[in-house]
Every structure is written in structure tokens, then in C-alpha cells.
Amino acid sequence: VSNFVALSYGLSGEGPGSWIRQIDLSIATQAKKNQISMEPGVIRKLDEVVVNRIAAGEIIQRPANALKEMMENSLDAKATSIQITVKAGGLRSLQIQDNGTGIRREDLEIVCERFTTSKLQSFDDLSSISTYGFRGEALASISHVAHLSIVTKTKHEKCGYRACYEDGKLKGDIKPIAGNQGTQITVDDLFYNVPMRKQALKTPNEEFQRISDVVGKYAVHNPHACFILKKFGETAAIRTQPKSTVAQNIGTIYGAAIGKALIPIELKDDILQLAVEGYVTNVNFSLKKAISLMFINHRAVECSALKKAIDAIYSLYLPKGSAPFVYLSLELSPQNVDVNVHPTKHEVHFLHEEEIVEKVKLLVERALLGGNATRSYTQALLPGALQPLESSKSNESLVGNDDKPRLDYKLVRTSHSEQKLDKFFNISGSGNGSQPKEDAPDKKVLEPKLTQPSPSRKQKATKRETRLTSVHNLRQRIESDGDENLRKIFRELTYVGTIDRHQVLIQYDTQLYLVFTQHIAVELFYQRLLYDFGNFERITFSEPLELKRLAELGLADPESGYAGEEDGPVDELADRIVQVLVEHAPLMREYFSVSIRADGYLESLPKLLDNYIPSVVFLPIYIIRLATEVEWTDEEECLRTFARETALFFSRIALTKPEAEYRWELEHVIYPAVRNYLIPPKEFSRNGCLLQLTSLPELYRVFERC
């Protein structure tokens, strides 16, 4: 203060006394203000709109929370098909459509008001709640922070109805509309009136990842239902089949590598009124980041005590920095669980927590001990094996350097042409790695034959090039998504041998990889369909096949998702499928050499690779999916989805063929084409279709220890 006074005195030319008086006056003024602020504030009742938005902010924290609430409503409505479409991470648009029981016309007026529910009548009902939703706040909360519309139809109503809502109230009239049984809820402009919440959210891609996480969890836990998640205008990021199993959905959503490493666990305890079911990965498998799916009474929840107990068990088996995949479903007596402890319902409280955690811990421990006898000490890597290619130092060790001689353990010592993996198996006709064409088994049913010889070099040079912008866009998307490191591996691969109908071994430099063939084949055939667009030869059938008969066979297959008479009579559905395909026959014939006659007979399929004919066993399902999964109304989407479905059909390589034949096709047709044509997408480094088993340097380390 003295320095301040001295400085002020020197600047102003006034004596220090005047400044002291000013300081005293300032202190007195501040004391007066403090005296005023000590008066108690007036308590007022908040406006109803403010109250509702505060409540909405607690329940709807981000798009994933809104979707979780709506998915739970769909599952409560007995839906067996749930389709979610997302724009801009759910902030611009979030749509969910189901085939559940729907909402009655009479209930639409109040459905978005707070505390309106069909699942709870009295407070005592909370002690035995067995549904996902019960408080009636989900739709109300969403309507206070977004534009909400509902299209719904019940089983007994003649038409559907559409209603829009704002701040929990019906906006406008309820309008009749055409629609299928079930409910479609569209949430537009989420947080349009809460800009701070919107700005605090992550990027659209990160929000979509959170949505994917929620959908993945519920799809695994509800395998009876079909879940489809996609960004608007793009292919499905998650798609599960109806009437599937938990293990199948885990493999579909989280990767085949996890699916193959699962150990089932199960427990029933009558004393604690506890039932546990789940899957954990064995000690040979690990992830960089843990994936934990926990359900208590079918609710996706977090239980830190249970998670810590399981992490402690795995820490004894897995290397530091590695983590497992865990899916657990606990069922307790509803009287022992309090579900109403958190606004978003991601936490619950239950009795006997310590005893239950200890029971589950022992259960997991026993499962891992049972699998420890077969533990492998050769580390299986996702193409983190590709990481060395990304650094210049590792590039020198893997690819070599002209200035430095290679060390012994970086040399490949044998030629792949000297012996194959088949040598160690008793497989007739594959000892020399080749199979004459005349030895291929006869195809008695639906035998296809080529209508013309392979084109000459001159004919190939004059290939017709398409001018369609949509095709060029799809090709550009393939090239921009290509992974150069993976492309180098596939371009220089050496085929080592076939393990079974799904897996083969390949070698790149000094690394040995396990490859899951169908993932690779789907992408290979998809790219062939786009890069040879409009230039396909034909594979014709000895006798044209009746599309209606194929459609009926496809509907009888569980893979079609046909649920019986409730979806409509088989005869009518088959007729509609034939009608769709005949209507678009000119497009398929012109661009893809799929020839369908006007009277509903299939004459030919495209020839995508020389010496390769797809299995006709899957032709009925292919016909069903062409009619139902191809987006015929938009040009680019039509070509993309048609190519995807055709690639899926062609990729089912060996499921019905004799062993010698499929081994020959893999070695001499599929993988040479992979080497020459495939542009591997970045997704291959994440979905487990390519796993590094070992490398020569790693084996040297093992031998040195011996």
C-alpha cells in the first residue's frame, strides 16, 4: 500500500492525505455493499420450462443417452428389429425404427409429458420393476431439448399416426399416415436450445462411436432381436441377425478374434437368488483397452467393484498394459435391486454386493484356470505387427537396406515352393499343391457353365470404361480408405497353406500371418465388381432357374429373418421379390451381367474371377437380399449395395465344396487375385481378419532361451 501511495503521490502531485481519504471512502463503500449482500435472497418457484430443461439435462447428456432410452422403449415393446440411422453423430438427426407393439392413438397426446408411463402405477411397483423404462421421463426430456416426431401403428389399427412434440406438449394435430406396425421416433437438432451443452460435446465421429458402443452392448445382450446401426447414406456399421446367439453377436460386433477366444461361464445360487451367464476371453487373448459389458437384470450398468475384481484376476495372466473382453449378465431378485438411483440408470444398487462379487470372481477364476493348461506363449497380434512398417528403423530391419547386410535371424531360409503346409495333413490330391481341372467334382444340381472363352489380351485392352460419376465416387472411396502397409503385405504375400474352410496362413517377409478368408474375399469381390463395372463375362446355368422358387427356398432359411405368417404369406412375399428383381432386370443385365427374364427366370451371373464359380447353395438367400437390401431408389447407393450383396454371395467360398476343391481354389484362384487386385481398407487392421502369429526374430528369441 505504501508503494502504491508513494507512486500515486508522485504522479498526481497531491499529498498522501488525499489518497488516504479516498482509500477510506472506498473501504466504507465496499462495507456498505457487503452489508446489503448479507440480506437473504427471495426464494421463487422456477418457471416450468426451466424445470423441465434442467431435468432433461440430467437425463439426456449426449446423443448416446437419448438413443439408449429409446432403444429400451423398443425392447420393452417386444421389438425384434431395431434400425438406427444417425446424422452428424446424432446431433442433426437420430432416428430409431422398430417393429414392436406401437403406441395407441389415444396415448399420443400425453406420451411426451413427464412421468407418463405404462410400466408403473404405484411407488410399491418400484420394488418389482422388470422393464427397462418406468419413470416416463425419456421422451419428455428429449422433447425439451430437440424437435421430436413419432410415427406409430399398433397391430389392430388400420393406419399409422404421426405426431410432433415440443417442450413435452403435442405440436399440431395427430395425422393419419401409412406405416408398418411399430414405432419410428425421429430426434432432430438435439440441444438446439442448449448451445453450451452442444458445444461441450465431442466431434460427430466420437459421438457416433459412443452410439456404436451403446448399440453394440444391447445387441449382444438381446440376440433375439436384429439391430442395424448406420450413418445416413452409408452402409451399416453394426448389423446383427435375428434369432442369433450372444457369442455370435460378440464375434460380429467386436471381431472374429474375440469370438474365437470366448469362454462361457454360468452360475446359479439359490441362497443369493443369483443367476450369472456370460463370456470372458481366455488367457491367450488380450486387448490394449478393456471391453466390459455388464448387465444386471438386463440393464447395461457400471459396477466398479465387479470390474476391479475381474481386472485383478486377469492381471495374474496377461502382460502389463493388456486387458480382456468380458460380458456378464447377472439376474437378481427384483426386490434386492434398487434401479432408481441415477438419472441415466447406468448405476444400480443391490443387496449382498460383496458376496455376489466374490461369487463372480471365483467363477471367472475357475474358467481361466480350466483354459490355462493350453496356454500359448506365442503372442498373437492384431496388425500392430504393421507398426514396424511405420517407422524407418523397422523398415530397415524388415525390408532390408542396400548398405547394411541382413542379420541371420532376418533371413528367410527356405523357399515356399519346396513344401506346403498340406504336406503335414493327409489330404488326397493336394500333395503337390495343384489340382487338374478335370479332377474337380461334378456339380449335379444347377450346374453353371461359361458361355464364352476368356477374353484375349486384345479384348482386355479395349475394355469399356464407365462414365458414371457414382462408380468413380465409389472407386475413389476405396482408394482413399486403402492402407498402404496392408497393401504391401498382400501384394508380396506367400501362400503357406490352408488350415480350414475359414482360415489360411500367409507369409510376408519374416512374418507369419493368420488370415480369415471370407473378410478378405468380400472386399476382393466388391472391388472387382466396381473396377470391372460393365465388363463382365457371364456364368450361365444349364437350365434357367425360377426366381419364385428360389425366393421361397430363401424365406425358409433362418438367415432370411422371415418370422412366419406375421410377416405375410410366403407366396405373396415371393411374388413381391420376383416383381422387384424383374423390374430392375435391365440395370443388372447391363452393368453386372445378371440376366433375369421378364417371366421371372434367372439365366446368368457375372464371372468375377477366372476358374471360380460361386456356390449355388446360397443363391436363394442372395435373391432375397437383392430384393430387400439393395437401395434401388438412389443411383450410387444402388450400385454400392448391389455390389456388396453380390460380393457377400461370391465370398462364401468353401462351405459346401469338397476339401480338395476348396483348397485348390484358395491357393490358385482367390489369393493370387488378392495379391494382384486387392486394395485392403484400414478396417482390416482393426477387425481381426489379419493376425500376426509369429516372426523369425521372435522364434530366434525362443530358441535362444532353449
How many angstroms separate the CA atoms of 203 and 206, rounded?
5
Strands (E), 572-644: 595-596, 601-607
Three cell numbers, residue 497: 497353406
The pLDDT of residue 410: 54
DSSP assignment string, 473-534: HHHHHHHHTB-HHHHHHHHT-EEEEE-SSSEEEEEETTEEEEEEHHHHHHHHHHHHHHHTTT
How many angstroms separate the CA atoms of 669 and 665, rounded?
5
The pLDDT of residue 350: 74
The pLDDT of residue 401: 42
In the block, cell 524407418 appears at 392
Of 107 and 343, the one with more pLDDT: 107
265 confidence band (pLDDT: 50, 70, 90): very high
- Architecture of the CATH domain 254-369: 2-Layer Sandwich (3.30)
Q: Is the pLDDT of residue 529 over 90?
A: yes
The pLDDT of residue 227: 95
Alpha carbon 433 to chain centroid distance?
A: 38
How many angstroms separate the CA atoms of 225 and 439, rounded?
45
Q: Is the pLDDT of residue 488 over 80?
A: yes
The superfamily in CATH containing domain 50-239 is: Histidine kinase-like ATPase, C-terminal domain (3.30.565.10)
pLDDT in tens, 547-570: 999 988 988 888 887 777 777 788
345 confidence band (pLDDT: 50, 70, 90): low
The pLDDT of residue 251: 92
222 confidence band (pLDDT: 50, 70, 90): very high
Residue % of the chain over a pLDDT of 90: 36
Whether the Cβ atoms of residue 292 and residue 308 lie closer than 8 Å to each other: no
The pLDDT of residue 570: 86
In the sheet where 325-332 sits, what is the strand order?
A: 262-269, 274-281, 325-332, 291-296, 299-300
CA atoms within 13 A on the CB side of 592: 28
pLDDT in tens, 5-29: 444 444 444 454 554 556 556 665 6
The pLDDT of residue 394: 37
The pLDDT of residue 559: 82
The pLDDT of residue 430: 39
Q: Which amino acid type is present at position 360?
A: V
What is the number of other CB atoms lying within 10 angstroms of the CB of residue 193? 16
Three cell numbers, residue 386: 504393421
Residue % of the chain over a pLDDT of 70: 73
Q: Is the pLDDT of residue 395 over 50?
A: no
667 confidence band (pLDDT: 50, 70, 90): confident
Q: Is the pLDDT of residue 461 over 70?
A: no
88 confidence band (pLDDT: 50, 70, 90): very high
- 592-612 mean pLDDT: 92
Q: Where along the chain do its domains lie?
A: 50-239, 254-369, 467-693
Nearest Cα neighbor of 194 from 66, 69, 56, 68 is 56
- 323-336 mean pLDDT: 88
- Runs of H (alpha helix) within 532-602: 547-555, 570-583, 585-592
pLDDT in tens, 690-699: 888 888 777 7
Nearest Cα neighbor of 521 from 535, 540, 501 is 501
pLDDT in tens, 25-47: 666 566 555 555 567 877 777 76
SS3 of 405, please? Answer: coil
- 581-589 mean pLDDT: 93
How many angstroms separate the CA atoms of 143 and 374, rounded?
55
> What integer best gives the mean pLDDT of the chain?
79
Of 456 and 78, the one with more pLDDT: 78
221 confidence band (pLDDT: 50, 70, 90): very high
What is the number of other CB atoms lying within 10 angstroms of the CB of residue 145? 24
Task: Kindly report the backbone phi and psi dihedral angles of residue 621, in degrees, each rounded to the nearest multiple of 5, phi listed first.
Answer: -65, -40
How many angstroms separate the CA atoms of 431 and 421, rounded?
9
- 498-526 mean pLDDT: 88
Element (H or E) spanning 328, and its range? strand 325-332
Q: Is the pLDDT of residue 347 over 90?
A: no
- 600-614 mean pLDDT: 91
pLDDT in tens, 616-649: 888 999 999 999 999 998 999 999 999 999 999 9
